[in-house]
Amino acid sequence: MRLLILGLLSILLPGLAGAQTGGLFSMESRQDGRAWEAVGRLELAGRAFCTGSLIAPDLVLTAAHCLYDETGALLEPGDVQFLAGWRNGRAAAYRRVRRAVVHPEYDFFAAPGADRVYRDIALIELQHPVRNTTIMPFATDDRPGAGTRVAVVSYAHDRSEAPSMQDDCEILSEQEDLLVLSCSVDFGSSGSPVFTLDGDVPKIVSVVSSKGKSDDVAVSLGAPLAGQIEVIEALMRGGAGFAEGTGFRPLRVGNEARPAAGAKFVRPEARGDLLNRR
């Protein structure tokens, strides 16, 4: 079986003062993760996974590149399943997918750069809404400024069976078309929600698109949401995402079939310098 390779870019960045990574807290018990069960694993054709989060009972927010196979073709809805609050072999809710719509200007084959990160957003409509009092969709918000404390909840290849939180990272640089974060991400973290923690209720302000390095310290790149989600929602209202012949094949996730590897990082031949552009 070929491994499904999906692209998080690996981008080398110039040094950033204050870039550092903090520890990850694994939410292996339901009590630890109860407030975060709207974050889940996206199973992709039974061969890889990303992270996604509910922003409405029937809408999952993730990275656009998660929805492509290794040839650059969009996955069919029947190849994708959302496992809300996936933890130690069980999910708080299992949902198949009705349709998925990526940002209309996202180009899977585009060269590495800020524009590719900026458009790396997709919405997935579930076949049936998640109506559960313990699984509450998250609100979204405008981008915060540099220095703002943020948190990321994600799955990854070495922590695929329970979500982990990093709540001590920050926005190192805020640009028009991307956010540079000190949060640690790895294979499978594509599409992970980035939360602000300033108010009483966490709000999603970005999704993880790419990883990179500042000096020798790992950083992550996030796609801002402001104005982006509205574009995709408008397409959905117009009927986007209903291709003729789309299959709805059931995807069964068992111990013998669950992929251990997350969506992979594409390593471009020419690495982009994103922060010296302005």
Query: What is the model's pLDDT at position 243?
Result: 61
**pLDDT band of 198, cuts 50, 70, 90:** confident
Query: What is the model's pLDDT at position 19?
Result: 45
Please state, rounded to an integer, the average pLDDT across all residues of the chain: 79
Please tell me whether residue 230 adopts helix, strand or coil conformation: helix
| All structural domains of the chain | 8-266 (2.40.10.10)
- The length of the chain, given as a count of residues: 278
Query: What is the model's pLDDT at position 31?
Result: 60
248 backbone dihedrals φ, ψ, rounded to 5°: -125, 65
Q: Which two structure tokens, joined as six digits, stand for 29? A: 């018990």
**Residues near 24 by Cβ (< 8 Å), separated by ≥ 6?**
159, 164, 165, 166, 184
Please tell me whether residue 88 adopts helix, strand or coil conformation: coil
92-125 pLDDT, tens digit per residue, is 999 999 999 999 999 999 887 788 899 999 999 9
Distances (CA, A) of 173 to 13, 148, 178, 221: 12, 10, 8, 10
Query: What is the model's pLDDT at position 197?
Result: 84
pLDDT beyond 60 at 272: no
> What's the whole-model pTM score?
0.82
pLDDT beyond 70 at 201: yes
Scanning the chain, the segments in alpha helix (DSSP H) are: 30-33, 114-118, 228-237
Q: Which amino acid is at 57?
A: P
| Over residues 49-71, mean pLDDT | 95
CA dist., res. 234 & res. 87, Å (int):
34
| Bridge partners for 266 per DSSP | 9
**pLDDT band of 236, cuts 50, 70, 90:** very high
DSSP secondary structure code for residue 90 in this structure: B
pLDDT beyond 90 at 269: no
**pLDDT band of 212, cuts 50, 70, 90:** confident
| Over residues 142-165, mean pLDDT | 88
Burial (CB count within 10 angstroms: exposed 0-12, middle 13-18, buried 19+), residue 130: buried
| Over residues 66-75, mean pLDDT | 91
DSSP secondary structure code for residue 228 in this structure: H
| Over residues 189-194, mean pLDDT | 94
CA dist., res. 156 & res. 159, Å (int):
5
Query: What is the model's pLDDT at position 194?
Result: 96
Query: What is the model's pLDDT at position 143?
Result: 85
Asked if 42 and 81 count as a contact pair (C-beta separation under 8 A), the reply is yes
29-48 pLDDT, tens digit per residue, is 666 657 899 999 999 998 89
